[in-house]
Chain A
Amino acid sequence: MAGTTTNPPANDSPYATPTALEPSAPKPSPPNTLTKIWRYFLPLAIFAGLVWFLYKGLSLNPREVPSALINKPAPEFKLALLHDSEKSFSPADMKGQVWLMNVWGSWCVSCRYEHPVLNELAKQQLVPIVGFNWKDQPEDARGWLKKFGDPYAKSVMDRDGRVAIDFGVYGAPETFVIDKAGTIRYKHTGPISPDDMKNIIVPLLQDLKKT
């Protein structure tokens, strides 16, 4: 081994092999402080990053699947009315109006929780609400509305759930905000709380009505 260097290299590793056998040999130069800091803080930074991702992941609600239909035209359908099965309703009837479509069922307990909020909105007469009665028995649905109040300008029945598939519905309640052009602008998954209504939906409806 041809020794070319006489100076020992900067030795900043605690595990480096001893460079000299005798105490009189030149001592290793003091460790580079920057490298030292880097060495200690990099694992900490990586750990902090992992914790952040984990925390974010835990605070996400997996039930809130973003709708694939936002800013897309509301799917067309023609369904019989709940209160008059001779007549039918189609989203085309609502062109030029901002409206809400609320998916519900008499079997759905969360819908009962949400219902007073919808009744309140109906009282304000801001926009018409269309009730989308999903996979229900008509008599059960009518009884339910009689008992808890009927906020719906119109109610349609989707008994076998085929139209709901077009809307990407996967649970009740779900609420769609549809603008004057018939485009879906917002979807609320799960029951609308009074706060959601006041802070998200009503401002959005007011905005959409202006345009």
Chain B
Amino acid sequence: MESAGVVNNVDSADILNLTSCHINLKHKQRRAQQSIYAPIAAPVLERSFMKLVFSLLFACTFSANLFAQTATPAMPPMPLDLELRLKKLETELRCLVCQNQTLAESPAGLAGDLRREIRLLADSGKSNEEIKEFLRVRYGDFVLYNPPMSSKTYLLWFGPFALLAGGAAIAFLMARQRRLKLGVAQPSISEAEQKRADALLKGDDEKKRGDNKKR
């Protein structure tokens, strides 16, 4: 078995884990060797670096066909518009192995299989919605990065707005209460008191002015 040692090492590190994202080193190596970037990619399998290389190439050259060949080596190259459409679709789908990655970026074997399946579905004329439904029926809502609106997800969709509305209501009530208190508190000074207070304030002012003059 090729590179069995590597695979075993990774496995024993998390023996109870399911197929971890890194067990697929073997796949990654194979992919890297088949890649046209083999001279760059093969010695350095560090994912972040690969991602950087790929994203730079993708962003700069826009020659997406080359990128696709590394992801699905078995498939013939596809037209650019289809490629871009599927790339976009795959970024809306979750890889179930590396759960915080999209199908587009995951190196897991299953992600490769699903990308191939998506390609086949697209080739047979299925729309994006039909492809999503195909995956949702098999893997559940979890596979969709945009959760659908349902009674289960109302809290998710409307919770933040409910919190905002609640916070605004509390702030409004508190402000009103405070205003009421202030409004009522002022008249409790009698007229005489008010005069005295005015006089004191005035006197204070004059005194200050006098001080300023002295300087």
Chain A residues in contact with chain B, CB under 8 A? 1-6, 8-9, 11, 13, 16-22, 25, 62-63, 65-69, 107-110, 113, 135, 140, 160-162, 164-168, 170-172, 189-191
How many angstroms between the C-alpha atoms of A69 and B142 in the bound complex? 13
Q: How far is the CB of A67 from chain B (nearest CB, A)?
A: 7
**Contact among A63, A168, A172, A189 for B138, CB-based, below 8 A:** A168
Contacts of B197 in A (CB 8 A): 21
Contacts of A4 in B (CB 8 A): 187
How many angstroms between the C-alpha atoms of A108 and B14 in the bound complex? 11
Chain B residues in contact with chain A, CB under 8 A? 1, 7-8, 11-12, 15-19, 23, 96-97, 99, 109-110, 113-114, 117, 136-142, 180-189, 193, 197
Q: Would A171 and B97 be within 8 Å (CB), given that A3-B188, A19-B185 are in contact?
A: yes
Contacts of A62 in B (CB 8 A): 99
Q: How far is the CB of B16 from chain A (nearest CB, A)?
A: 6
**Contact among A20, A110, A140, A171 for B1, CB-based, below 8 A:** A140
Closest 4 CB pairs of A and B: A3-B187, A171-B18, A170-B96, A68-B140
A110/B188 in contact, CB under 8 A:
no
A161/B18 in contact, CB under 8 A:
no
A190/B18 in contact, CB under 8 A:
yes
**Contact among B12, B97, B136, B188 for A19, CB-based, below 8 A:** B188
How many angstroms between the C-alpha atoms of A167 and B109 in the bound complex? 16
**Contact among A107, A165, A189 for B113, CB-based, below 8 A:** A165
Contacts of A67 in B (CB 8 A): 140
Contacts of B23 in A (CB 8 A): 107
How many angstroms between the C-alpha atoms of A19 and B141 in the bound complex? 60
B117/A6 in contact, CB under 8 A:
no
Q: Would A171 and B140 be within 8 Å (CB), given that A8-B185, A9-B184, A62-B99 are in contact?
A: no
- Nearest residue (CB) in B for A22 is B193
Instruction: List 4 other contacts, CB 8 Å, given A13-B181, A19-B185, A65-B139.
Output: A3-B187, A5-B188, A110-B16, A162-B117
- Nearest residue (CB) in A for B19 is A171
- Nearest residue (CB) in B for A11 is B181
A168/B117 in contact, CB under 8 A:
no
How many angstroms between the C-alpha atoms of A1 and B183 in the bound complex? 9
How many angstroms between the C-alpha atoms of A135 and B97 in the bound complex? 15
How many angstroms between the C-alpha atoms of A113 and B12 in the bound complex? 11
Contacts of A113 in B (CB 8 A): 15-16
Q: Would A68 and B137 be within 8 Å (CB), given that A16-B181, A21-B193 are in contact?
A: yes
Contacts of A11 in B (CB 8 A): 181
How many angstroms between the C-alpha atoms of A19 and B186 in the bound complex? 7
Contacts of B180 in A (CB 8 A): 9
How many angstroms between the C-alpha atoms of A190 and B18 in the bound complex? 6
Contacts of B140 in A (CB 8 A): 65-68, 168
Q: How far is the CB of B26 from chain A (nearest CB, A)?
A: 8
- Nearest residue (CB) in B for A167 is B138
B114/A165 in contact, CB under 8 A:
yes
A189/B18 in contact, CB under 8 A:
yes
Contacts of B113 in A (CB 8 A): 135, 160-162, 164-165
A110/B138 in contact, CB under 8 A:
no
How many angstroms between the C-alpha atoms of A172 and B108 in the bound complex? 13
A65/B96 in contact, CB under 8 A:
yes
A68/B185 in contact, CB under 8 A:
no
